[in-house]
A and B are shown apart, each in its own frame.
Chain A
Amino acid sequence: MSSILPPAEKIWWKQPVDSVEMIWIGFALTWCLIMFFAMPLWHVYGEQNYSGEAYNVLPDQYQARVEQMVQAHTVRHESDQQIPVVRPPAGSDVYLLARLWQWYPILELQKGQTYRLHLSSLDWQHGFSLQPLNVNVQVLPGYDMVLTVTPTESGEFGLVCNEYCGIMHHTMLSKLYVVD
């Protein structure tokens, strides 16, 4: 019963340790250290990392940058709301905006090219969830998050909002195209 009684020896840290415990601690600690070092190593050798690049931005500043890109590179419009589909040049800064309850604009990227993808929200918090790849990041108002992305496959991708953003949250759905 001694787990609910005072220990037999008052100086409890002098109690001997069974070897089964020591062996297990050895295995467990080794695994913990491997997992710890895997994260910085993936930053060096892995190809899926967020560098942490981000800037403060005011919503109207951000919106202006989005509009500038939309005006320069729109290739067509889609849906009843005529949302522009933008095909920015490879290597450029690409802006995606989240607001209640819409992603704006629709991006069309080229496979194998690298883009600086900016994400920010005009109002509440949103979640960028690219399907079926299942890449998910948080989108905050006031913060311009920059992900350097290189699509490695072409096709039509679903862009879901996966941070709860109010009653019409489930309608906040868009597309992202990658062409060869």
Chain B
Amino acid sequence: MKPLFRTCPKSGLVLHRDAENLIKANAVAAVVFLAVGGLLGLLVALTRWPSVHLLDAQRFYQVLTGHGVVTLLVWVIFFEIAVLYFCSAVLLRCRLAAPKWGWTAFALMLGGAAIAAVAIVLGGSSVMMTSYVPMPASPLFYLGLILFAVGALIGCFIFLATLVVARDERTYEGSIPLVTFGALTACIIAIFTIASGAIILIPTFLWSVGYISEVDPLMYRVVWWAMGHSSQQINVAAHVSVWYAIAAIVFGARPMSEKVSRGAFVLYILFINLASAHHLLVDPGVGTEWKIFNTSYAMYLAVLASLVHGLTVPGSIEIAQRRKGLNRGLFEWLRKAPWGNPVFSGMFLSLVGFGFIGGISGVVMGVEQINFLVHNTLYVPGHFHGTVALGTTLAFMALSFWLVPILFRRELIWPGLARWQPWLFGVGTALQAFFLMGAGTLGVSRRHWDIAFTDALFDWAYSGLAYTMMALNGMSALMAVAGGLLFVLIMVGTILWGRPSGAPAEYKAERPATLMPAAPEARGHAGIGIGRLVAPGTFALAMFLLVIFVVYYVINYAYLASLWKIS
């Protein structure tokens, strides 16, 4: 047997050659698509900035379709496949199962994304990412997405097979690590997502080429959103895993309790895929009970899971810091955290942004009746820029600052600028989310080329404040794009001309030493914290979030109560 493993001298990670190559390939593809998607996003924001109004209508809808598909599907899923391979083969020190299939999956995803991109560029598929029937797109558009999904599905099965290999070959002792457990959660959600995508996109493809006469628009929405929303739940499970991983890497943090953190992931598996309903709350033809049960993930049990992670991730950092002696007051552990390290600052901004902006807005807009005020307004993109751009994308960027130098054995270029990258991107995106939600609250429609309604038979003017919000959104987008561009440049620069770190890689081991469990904690959590609370700072922050959550929720119901009577 050829030796296929190397040990990274700095991080101590054991890397399997095939896994390493596949992680690199998927991560590079991800970053390239992020660059494309971000650029398209800039064009969208500049067009929706009323005094700039950059693109014409046709180009705008085309670019907006591209922005949605590339960022919400292609970028995140490529990166997630890399995360899945990392969390299985690398974290469990085992060989990646079926690397040839890994390359097949990669080729299918790349080919599929390229076909969908060609369909969008040719212009006959400006149907938005959601491609609601009966508005037709070119058959190539659906075909590209189907091929991409098939590739991603193969990637999921390789992840599962690798878990089996690791268990079979006993490359680790005990249970799988929490981060791998989270990745397994993401993988299970991904399989549900892709199955839903197949169930709706295959008939839609057949409809577009004329084999099926009609696809029911409501059925399309129910099933499409089981893919469209669930694909964003893959992101949640994946970026929460990344948070835990970064807490472990930067602070040596261990989960506050394995039971609670893993239990929260199990709640995701069981309930988070009910979110298709979030998009159908003001649709005809679906019943009230169905809406209430599904929009609340049964009884908000997936929200409970996120609230738990929101406590346990920073809580584990707080405990690790307090054990190192930063035990004074409520927030010494946080003040003295390594804010200049983009791996930490990116992760922490992602955590705070996802909770305060993406999380709260998502739950409030998903209340059946409050959705009247939100459906199809800019509030919706505001929310998901808070979750996907600020939460997922920033978490993945933070991980990349740590992982890319390890994989490519190069020093990060521009460390001084890298310190600022998470702040530029994070603050820019947070402001964008905020202003988009503001404009949406004032009624401004999403996916709309011209809120001045040029050439319409009638006129209607949104408030001046709404226009201001759109301009501020444009400016914030400039900041976010500067941060995104900086990330892409640092990554590409590091890979291409970063200083080689250490000796060339030697793949020496045929079989690495078995991965051993963490040592038990010497004295539990005794002697840290305040009173009986081991993580009082985190608890205070969590209660602060809950108070804002409750107040914002009540304000929305109160405004709703002032409207016309509807029944």
Does B299 contact A32, Cβ atoms closer than 8 Å? Answer: yes
Interface CB pairs A-B, < 8 A, 24: A2-B177, A3-B248, A3-B254, A4-B248, A6-B515, A7-B258, A19-B533, A21-B312, A27-B546, A31-B549, A35-B367, A46-B561, A79-B457, A114-B565, A129-B377, A129-B445, A136-B373, A140-B284, A145-B284, A158-B458, A158-B460, A163-B132, A167-B57, A173-B456
Does B217 contact A125, Cβ atoms closer than 8 Å? Answer: yes
Q: Which of B203-249 contact A (CB under 8 A)?
A: 216-218, 221, 244-245, 247-249
- Chain A residues within 8 Å of B292, by CB: 36, 39-40
Q: Is B108 in contact with chain A by the CB < 8 A criterion?
A: no
With A and B bound together, what is the CA distance between A110 and B57 in angstroms? 37
Check A171/B453 contact, CB under 8 A, given A4-B91, A21-B257.
yes
Does A127 contact B248, Cβ atoms closer than 8 Å? Answer: no
- Chain A residues within 8 Å of B304, by CB: 25, 28-29, 32
Residue of A nearest to B372 (CB): A135
User: Nearest 6 pairs between A and B by C-beta?
Assistant: A158-B460, A2-B518, A54-B284, A145-B284, A32-B300, A6-B174
Check A24/B307 contact, CB under 8 A, given A1-B248, A4-B249, A171-B456.
yes
Having A17-B259, A127-B445, one finds 13 other A-B pairs with CB under 8 Å, namely A1-B248, A2-B518, A3-B179, A16-B257, A32-B299, A43-B288, A49-B368, A114-B565, A123-B134, A125-B135, A132-B442, A140-B221, A162-B447
With A and B bound together, what is the CA distance between A18 and B217 in angstroms? 49
CB distance from A22 to the nearest CB of B (A): 9
With A and B bound together, what is the CA distance between A61 and B34 in angstroms? 47
Q: Is B475 in contact with chain A by the CB < 8 A criterion?
A: no
CB distance from A1 to the nearest CB of B (A): 5
Q: Is A131 in contact with chain B by the CB < 8 A criterion?
A: yes
Does A3 contact B247, Cβ atoms closer than 8 Å? Answer: yes
CB distance from B180 to the nearest CB of A (A): 8
Residue of B nearest to A33 (CB): B299
With A and B bound together, what is the CA distance between A60 and B557 in angstroms? 38
Give the size range of B's interface with the partner: 35 or more
- Chain B residues within 8 Å of A19, by CB: 532-533
Check A135/B566 contact, CB under 8 A, given A42-B369, A140-B283.
yes
With A and B bound together, what is the CA distance between A82 and B244 in angstroms? 63
- Chain A residues within 8 Å of B519, by CB: 8
Q: Is A70 in contact with chain B by the CB < 8 A criterion?
A: no
Does A142 contact B256, Cβ atoms closer than 8 Å? Answer: no
Count, A-B residue pairs, CB within 8 A:
349
- Chain B residues within 8 Å of A83, by CB: 457
Q: Is B484 in contact with chain A by the CB < 8 A criterion?
A: no
Q: Is A144 in contact with chain B by the CB < 8 A criterion?
A: yes
CB distance from A107 to the nearest CB of B (A): 13
CB distance from B87 to the nearest CB of A (A): 9
Does A36 contact B296, Cβ atoms closer than 8 Å? Answer: yes
Residue of A7, A124, A131 near B518 (CB, 8 A) is: A7
Does A169 contact B543, Cβ atoms closer than 8 Å? Answer: no
CB distance from A89 to the nearest CB of B (A): 18
Which applies to chain A's interface (DSSP): helix, strand, loop or mixed?
mixed
Does B260 contact A49, Cβ atoms closer than 8 Å? Answer: no
With A and B bound together, what is the CA distance between A151 and B566 in angstroms? 9
Residue of B286, B456, B567 near A170 (CB, 8 A) is: B456
Does B377 contact A162, Cβ atoms closer than 8 Å? Answer: yes
Does A173 contact B453, Cβ atoms closer than 8 Å? Answer: yes
Q: Which of B292, B463, B557 has the most CB of A within 10 A?
A: B292
Does B458 contact A79, Cβ atoms closer than 8 Å? Answer: yes
- Chain B residues within 8 Å of A14, by CB: 259
With A and B bound together, what is the CA distance between A21 and B44 in angstroms? 42
Q: Is B507 in contact with chain A by the CB < 8 A criterion?
A: no
Query: Would you give the 0/1 interface string for A142-178, flagging 1 where the beta carbon is closer than 8 Å to chain B?
Result: 1111011111110000101111111111111111000
With A and B bound together, what is the CA distance between A81 and B456 in angstroms? 11
With A and B bound together, what is the CA distance between A124 and B282 in angstroms? 17
Of B17-25, B192-200, B385-393, B534-542, the one touching chain A: B534-542
Residue of B175, B462, B560 near A48 (CB, 8 A) is: B560
CB distance from A79 to the nearest CB of B (A): 4
Does A127 contact B257, Cβ atoms closer than 8 Å? Answer: no
Does A17 contact B457, Cβ atoms closer than 8 Å? Answer: no
With A and B bound together, what is the CA distance between A14 and B174 in angstroms? 14
Q: Is B408 in contact with chain A by the CB < 8 A criterion?
A: no
- Chain B residues within 8 Å of A137, by CB: 282-283, 372, 375
Q: Is A72 in contact with chain B by the CB < 8 A criterion?
A: no
Residue of A2, A25, A124 near B134 (CB, 8 A) is: A124
Does A170 contact B454, Cβ atoms closer than 8 Å? Answer: yes
With A and B bound together, what is the CA distance between A46 and B244 in angstroms? 42
Does B517 contact A7, Cβ atoms closer than 8 Å? Answer: yes
Does A52 contact B460, Cβ atoms closer than 8 Å? Answer: no
With A and B bound together, what is the CA distance between A175 and B461 in angstroms? 12
Q: Is B51 in contact with chain A by the CB < 8 A criterion?
A: no
Does B458 contact A175, Cβ atoms closer than 8 Å? Answer: yes
Q: Is A63 in contact with chain B by the CB < 8 A criterion?
A: no
CB distance from A7 to the nearest CB of B (A): 5
Does A48 contact B566, Cβ atoms closer than 8 Å? Answer: yes
Does B456 contact A48, Cβ atoms closer than 8 Å? Answer: no
- Chain A residues within 8 Å of B363, by CB: 35
With A and B bound together, what is the CA distance between A20 and B442 in angstroms? 39
Does A50 contact B175, Cβ atoms closer than 8 Å? Answer: no
Q: Which of A80-131 contact B (CB under 8 A)?
A: 80-81, 83, 102, 114, 119, 123-125, 127, 129, 131
Does A8 contact B521, Cβ atoms closer than 8 Å? Answer: yes
Q: Is A68 in contact with chain B by the CB < 8 A criterion?
A: no
Does B248 contact A152, Cβ atoms closer than 8 Å? Answer: no
Q: Is B190 in contact with chain A by the CB < 8 A criterion?
A: no
With A and B bound together, what is the CA distance between A1 and B316 in angstroms? 11
Q: Which of B242-294 contact A (CB under 8 A)?
A: 244-245, 247-249, 252-260, 262-263, 280, 282-288, 291-292
Q: Is B525 in contact with chain A by the CB < 8 A criterion?
A: yes
Q: Which of B519, B553, B566 has the most CB of A within 10 A?
A: B566
Does B565 contact A149, Cβ atoms closer than 8 Å? Answer: yes
CB distance from A125 to the nearest CB of B (A): 5
CB distance from B540 to the nearest CB of A (A): 10
Does A13 contact B287, Cβ atoms closer than 8 Å? Answer: no
With A and B bound together, what is the CA distance between A9 and B258 in angstroms? 9
Does B254 contact A2, Cβ atoms closer than 8 Å? Answer: yes
- Chain B residues within 8 Å of A164, by CB: 61, 128, 447-448
- Chain A residues within 8 Å of B520, by CB: 8-9
Residue of B255, B286, B566 near A147 (CB, 8 A) is: B566
Does B296 contact A39, Cβ atoms closer than 8 Å? Answer: yes
Residue of B259, B262, B307, B369 near A49 (CB, 8 A) is: B369
CB distance from B112 to the nearest CB of A (A): 23
Does A131 contact B462, Cβ atoms closer than 8 Å? Answer: yes
With A and B bound together, what is the CA distance between A46 and B567 in angstroms? 9
